[in-house]
């Protein structure tokens, strides 16, 4: 191979790496530092109305927070059906800021087995922006609702929310690559 061919190959490689870096930066944004913290609530006990409909009860309020320049990335509610009063819970639905997170149905392991752990992903992260996240329980069967080890695990990241590149910006980034390919084919055909 001649010196000119090596130079063209080197330019192509450099241009390809540069383009890959630009596309990667546009798609994934700058690297952000993530932080995870956990908020806790005390155990919850509620004896439902026998033979009637129990009103929804407030289990407690988590106080999620952000420091300057951060945004919420993910959140998960963890806990256990059963507590120090008893190892099993009555059937119950759990709500976070009015949205159903999960439930313990009648005759499910959470009502028959001792101390059944649960975890639910929280999809609506905008609910945290007001600095308050209310956990509620609606007992759906007889007995006593018993919850313990209630914790909200929140992951945050520094920097702005990751930007999604517009289709036009991707086309602009791919244009130079197409020109290099065409140039290479033209030179090979000579």
Q: What is the CATH number of the domain that holds 46?
A: 2.60.120.230
Same domain, 98 and 139: yes
In the numeric block, which tokens belong to residue 114?
Answer: 């001792």
A 10 A CB-CB count for 157 gives 18
Q: What are the pLDDT tens digits along the chain (190 aa)?
A: 555 444 445 545 545 544 555 555 544 455 557 899 999 999 999 998 877 778 999 999 999 999 888 999 999 999 999 998 999 999 999 999 999 999 999 999 999 999 999 999 999 999 999 999 999 999 998 899 999 999 999 999 987 665 555 454 555 556 666 666 666 777 666 6
CA angle 46, 47, 49 (to 5 degrees): 125
Same domain, 116 and 61: yes
Q: Which domain holds residue 21?
A: 3-29+163-189
Between CA 69 and CA 155 the distance in angstroms is 14
Same domain, 147 and 182: no
Same domain, 125 and 154: yes
Same domain, 104 and 18: no
Give the CA diameter of the chain: 91
Same domain, 184 and 133: no
Specify the number of domains making up the chain. 2
Q: What DSSP element (H or E) covers 113?
A: none
Same domain, 88 and 24: no
**pTM for this model (two decimals):** 0.67
Of residues 36, 27, 76, the one with CA closest to residue 157: 36
Residue carrying the six token digits 């000579």:
190
Dihedral class, residue 10 (left if φ above 0, else alpha if ψ from -120 to 50, else beta): alpha
Same domain, 18 and 84: no
Same domain, 73 and 125: yes
Same domain, 115 and 24: no
> CB-based burial of residue 59 (10 Å sphere; 0-12 exposed, 13-18 middle, 19+ buried)?
buried
Provide, for the chain, the percentages of residues in helix, strand and coil under a 3-state DSSP scheme, each rounded to the nearest 5: 30, 35, 35
> CB-based burial of residue 122 (10 Å sphere; 0-12 exposed, 13-18 middle, 19+ buried)?
buried
Of residues 78, 73, 87, 141, the one with CA closest to residue 115: 87
């Amino acid at each position: 191979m001649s010196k000119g061919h090596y130079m063209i190959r080197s330019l192509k490689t450099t241009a390809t790496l540069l383009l890959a870096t630009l596309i990667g930066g546009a798609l994934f944004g700058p690297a952000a530092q993530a932080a995870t913290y956990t908020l806790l609530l005390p155990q919850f006990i509620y004896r439902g109305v026998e033979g009637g409909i129990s009103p929804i009860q407030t289990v407690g309020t988590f106080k999620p927070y952000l420091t300057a320049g951060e945004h919420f990335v993910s959140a998960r509610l963890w806990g256990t059906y059963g507590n120090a009063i008893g190892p099993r819970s009555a059937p119950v639905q759990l709500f976070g800021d009015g949205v159903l997170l999960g439930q313990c149905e009648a005759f499910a392991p959470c009502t028959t087995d001792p101390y059944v752990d649960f975890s639910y992903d929280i999809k609506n992260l905008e609910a945290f922006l007001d600095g308050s996240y209310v956990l509620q329980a609606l007992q759906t069967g007889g007995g006593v609702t018993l919850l313990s080890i209630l914790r909200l695990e929140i992951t945050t990241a520094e920097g702005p929310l990751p930007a999604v590149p517009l289709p036009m910006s991707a086309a602009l980034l791919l244009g130079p690559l197409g020109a290099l390919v065409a140039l290479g084919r033209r030179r090979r055909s000579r």
